[in-house]
Structure 1
Amino acid sequence: MLDQGNTAFVLIMAALVLFMTPGLAFFYGGLVKAKSVISMMMMSFGAIALVGVLWVLYGYAIAFANHGEGTNVAGIVGFFSIDWNQIGLGQAFEEAKASTINAAYPSMAFVGFQATFAIITVALISGAIADRAKFGAWMIFAGVWVTVVYFPVASWVFNLTSGMFATWGVIDFAGGTAVHINAGAAGLALALVLGKRVGFAKGAHKPHNPPFVLLGAAILWFGWFGFNAGSEGAADGIASLAWVNTLAAPAAAILGWLLIEKIKDGKATSVGAASGAVAGLVAITPACAALTPGWGILLGFLAGVVCCFAIDWKYRLGFDDSLDVVGVHLVGGVFGTLYLGFFADTTGLIYSGSFAQLGKQAVAAGVVLVYSFVLAFVIGFAIEKTIGFRVKTEDEVAGIDTAVHGEEGYVLYEERDETPVSVR
């Protein structure tokens, strides 16, 4: 019979993960200038709308082709396949109508959970092109990229019946490769395609609303418990371990980030605390079910330190990753993925004496990084050379909210015909 407890668990975890994308909108929205906040937040909400529809139509059919018996699969199994029975979720719909389901949870619950991963991955990319991207061009990019990059990569990582990484023995419990390396590599590609913001220099673009940043980080952290613990698909001991590591690692990462900030700049900032938490969450994502909490704390602390240094690389290397998608998500994702090669329970170097797990982790990280970067660059370049991806310079300088969306994030007063009356 259907396990209603696990079904409820998966559905609740899915709702938590979906809540992460509005949290990301606040996090990113607070980091940009005041006249770009609507544009920034709309890219996250646009991802929810577009990717949610595409996932139902055909995304799940690609990501989880051959995910069960009796499927009709076409393509190269393990690299890119499509299950025609799941187009429009036909097979999952028929199962949901069945009076008896002998499973831990219905496949439709799993469909919903995995949909939220696709949504947040696309939304993460938008931070790399803040303050200068057209909304329509972004939506076209999001639709093409999620189809040709995310859906196949999700199959490699999360499709445990036929995915490449599962057969290789790669450890990625909740998406360090599929989500963070994937989004970070795509963000780097788009940052190169769109070029630098006007006046790009260290310290030239300051967050306009740090309380938004802290609020967004808090929502992300809250939702991340669903992201990591929910990936177990059951309310059991492994989910509990993932939950504790999702608490411990980002907490340690905050300490690591703030320590480096204090040493480098003399001050520990609220934006640094929020960024440190996210860096720790990114790093623990692939590792949350394969590390003891002690090793999880060390991973988080080191991720905070490494990512705090990494966000300055864009100034040295000359690319404008507006909100540090590369420095936090790409670097943090790679760091967490490789860390497992040393400290993963049983198979890591310190337990097994073998570099085999490290080799598997490195290959997986490299494959996703290159695949995502190359295709994102090609898609972004094609859009830029046809309809244009970047807004006009004058709109960028003035702030793109009014030019792109016809709205302002902060209306402090309304102009009226009447003469203002002073208040005594």
Structure 2
Amino acid sequence: MEVFEVRDPDIVQALQWTKETVETMITRAFTNAAVRRSIWSDTPNKQHSLSDVFFTVKDDTHVELTNVKLLREPDFRFTSINSCLESFFLAANIDIGDLEVTADFYVNNSALDYVLPLATSGQVTITFKNVKAEGPIGVYPIEDCFLTKNYSLCYKPENTTIKTVHKDNEGEATVELGVDSTANLFKDETLGSHLWMDLTHLLTKLLKMELDEVLCELSASDLLQGESDYVDGTIEHSNAVNVVTNDIFDKIIANANNRINELNLSTIPGPDIDASFKKKLATVVTTGHFTARNGTFQNMASLARKGDVSIAIEDGKFVIFGRVGLTELKISYDHYTAKLMDVGPTGKIQTTVGRNEALFKFILEKTDQKVKIRLADFKITDISEIEAHVTGLGGLNWLTSKISSWIASILRWKVAPLVEVNVKENVNKVLENFDVNSLLKK
């Protein structure tokens, strides 16, 4: 498509000549970094904190993970990379190896609390075996280098193992469970599935930091034969492509927002919360219960683009992809009850969400001299910095942080899939009559 093509043949050739240099530099830099880590494996490795996890199994068993940590820096190794700077993207296949996450766990069966209180706590280790990532990474020229901006990577582990250590009547007990297939990770309510959004968001963040550092070492003017005019021309073309792709994104999003508003779909019911918590009173550990009802999630009609959009070529077709977010993401509950020893407060909850992000991916297909656009994917990739504002807690005010983490897990595990389905449905309806050809001719 002409709008995405560099017009100056000299710049095209210069960009194509950078291919081997860029690919070799990236592959070597990440391999050397991994080797350095292995040589210094006896030194303390940097750990990364992840969000707490809470979910309910079969309506009455509450599972909570706290103090969640990724135990080591991931070793990104590019097994293959295709540099296409004339189209401003890198196509990458990355081997990350095993990722080990540890956490403290607490499991309570609320249905039995009034008959025979049962709760288990201990430590758990979740190991994601042989993790790989694949997909396009958007790049852009700035001043005298290239940097990355959008990542459309699919992360997949080969399998997952879960090991718990807890106290039983005979002392310390260790149990290990293997989850054989990747499909189980995403379809079943496994511990790994509840960690996956936060973990992959962290992986992308760490990869971007390392990859940008490597790319910054490559001078754009040196790559382009020392010709400053070539650098200026590349930046000018990149800006022109951004105008078109950003316009396509913005118009699709605006139409989707309008449709969601017109159909009164901007607000949906929020899932109920049923959770257990423990508190030591004198020498006795007591289990408390928390419920929240009449939840409301909003606003699905507040989609907005975050940063410039990227382009890539997959299977001979142009792909445009970029980040969006909900500018008014809130969830509230009209009524909650917190009880400890059958006594406790009631009130309301308002929640603010500091960060949320999703990836939009569209495919452009040319048929009969016309271009059609279709939705390839919409996936929420980050919901974080969540703070609950709770009325009436009084002496149980220390529960606020737990309520925030419970709501965060509800948003990631239960609300996010509903939002994805609703947004996809409305965007697909918008695209049925969307004229992308007029935008591509600008």
> Does TM, normalized by the shorter one, top 0.5?
no
Q: TM-score, normalising length from structure 2?
A: 0.28
Q: Which has the higher strand share?
A: 2
Q: TM-score, normalising length from structure 1?
A: 0.29
Q: Which has the higher helix share?
A: 1
Q: Which has the larger radius of gyration?
A: 2
